[in-house]
Structures are given as structure tokens and as C-alpha cells.
Amino acid sequence: MTALQIHQFPCLGDNYGYLVHDPDSGLTATIDSPDPGAIRHALDGHGWKLDYILNTHHHEDHAGGNLALKASTGCTIVGARADAERIPGIDIFVSEGDSFTLGKHTARIIETPGHTRAHICYLFEADRVAFVGDTLFSMGCGRLFEGTPAQMWTSLQKVMQLPDETKIFCAHEYTQSNGRFALTMEPDNPALLARMREVAALRAAGQPTVPSTLGTEKATNPFLRPASTELRATLGLAAATDTEVFAETRKRKDQF
């Protein structure tokens, strides 16, 4: 089986678009539809035809291009069954534990409510690749627009169960600002300090900081580190539950 090909490109200022291509079958999917023009340009650059849109959630910068792309390419749209009424043009409905097959590559669906009530992620297990939308960012996580801290922490724990080498493809270039907040939570975390130096060099060179790996996120992302003694001390929550620590961390990031 030929390896999955992933083409990453910036769009809409701070979004990332992703084309996922199976060379054996010639099938191509876009993760969400943030910018139809940028997606068409990327497709043309590779000589690929769009077969699927894999939506993570309903927000405009993720599903806003669905209908335009469907009209121009005839592609099939995949999205959360629990959010079907908000995914424009949806054709295939998926839920927790379902699979989506792109040629010889299979993605497992992980429901991750919190950012929205029906956010989903696509995990290509054999390829060790996860497209996490706005659930998890490099050194951050999505705002809780529709879910509770308990829901989001449960969702993040699902992601944390994946192998550490899993590549985490998130939807936005927020790493540097997320890292500045992370340093206020764990200023003495050596992995975080090293990551920030790496991020600064990448951004200075005009390079993306995404994807990350789950192992890197577990070492540096405050939203995955409620067990950290330093983070708990910063928050004054030494004896709190992990959910309470996560909730306070999210509250402080909202105010940062």
C-alpha cells in the first residue's frame, strides 16, 4: 500500500487546508472547505480531482465552501450525523467508531464535542495521522462555544490515547500565541521552552509549525497537562480534579 499523500496549504489568514490523496486509487479528499479557491488551486497544482470533503464541524471557515466545491466537482460530503442539519450538502453521516475509507486508507471517526456540540476528528490509524479540526491546536485547544469543560476534557483524553508519534494536523496557525500563554502556566517546563525556540525559528523563516506530534503536545500543551504540578501551582489548584484544572486553564486562556 502506497503511503497517504498530504498536501498542506495556508488560507484565510491563519487557517490550514489539507488535501489527502491515495495514490493507488487516485482518490482525493479535502479536510473541511475553508477556501474553495485555494482548494481548487491546490488540486490543480497536483493534477488531482476532488472526490470528498471530510468536515470536522459546521463553522463557516470549515464548511463554508462545501456547496461551491460540490457544485464544481460533484464531490461527496462527509460529516457528523449529530450535526447533519448544519453541514451544508452532507451526503454521508458518521458517528463515533464509524470508518471512512479513501482508497486503501481508512479513517476512524472520533467524536470530540466541546468546541462545538458535534465536532469530529478523522484518524488514519495505519498512517498515524489525525485531522483534529479545532479540537486540539499546537499548544492549545478550541474555545468552548457549545460544549462544557468536562465534555472537552473527555474529548481531549480520547485524543491523548493515540500513539505519541501520531501527527496532529490542526486547522489553524495559532502556535506562537498559544505558546506565550503556555509559558504563563509552566514557565519552567524545559520541553515547552525548547518548543518555543523551535517555533520562533520556524515562523521567522515563514514555515508552518503544524503538524505537531501527540508526544510533543503531551509535553508542552497546558490543556493536555492538568496533572502537572507546576501548572496546578500556577492556578492554585493543587488538590483539584483534572477537569477543574482544565476548566480554569481554559478560562484563563479566554482572558489572555
Side-chain-side CA neighbours of 174 within 13 Å: the count stands at 21
**Closest by Cα among 155, 77, 89 to 116:** 155
C-alpha cell of residue 167: 501527527
Q: How far apart are CA 208 and CA 198, in angstroms?
A: 11
* Cβ neighbours for 162, distance < 8 A, ≥ 6 positions apart: 123, 130, 214
Confirm whether 44 is a catalytic residue.
no
* Identified catalytic residue from 21, 22, 51, 62: 62
Confirm whether 57 is a catalytic residue.
yes
Give me the phi and psi of 9, to 5 degrees please.
-150, 145
Confirm whether 115 is a catalytic residue.
yes
DSSP 165-196: T-EEEESB--HHHHHHHHHHH-TT-HHHHHHH
Cβ contact 24:99 at 8 Å: no
Helix 190-204 with 175-185: angle, nearest 10 deg: 160
* Identified catalytic residue from 22, 32, 51, 134: 134
CA angle 26/55/59 to nearest 5° reads 145
* Identified catalytic residue from 59, 83, 105, 119: 59
C-alpha cell of residue 202: 520556524
* Identified catalytic residue from 22, 35, 51, 57: 57
* Identified catalytic residue from 35, 51, 61, 83: 61
Confirm whether 21 is a catalytic residue.
no
The C-alpha cell 481548487 sits at: 40
Confirm whether 41 is a catalytic residue.
no
* Identified catalytic residue from 21, 58, 115, 119: 115
Q: What are the residue numbers of the active site?
A: 57, 59, 61-62, 115, 134, 172
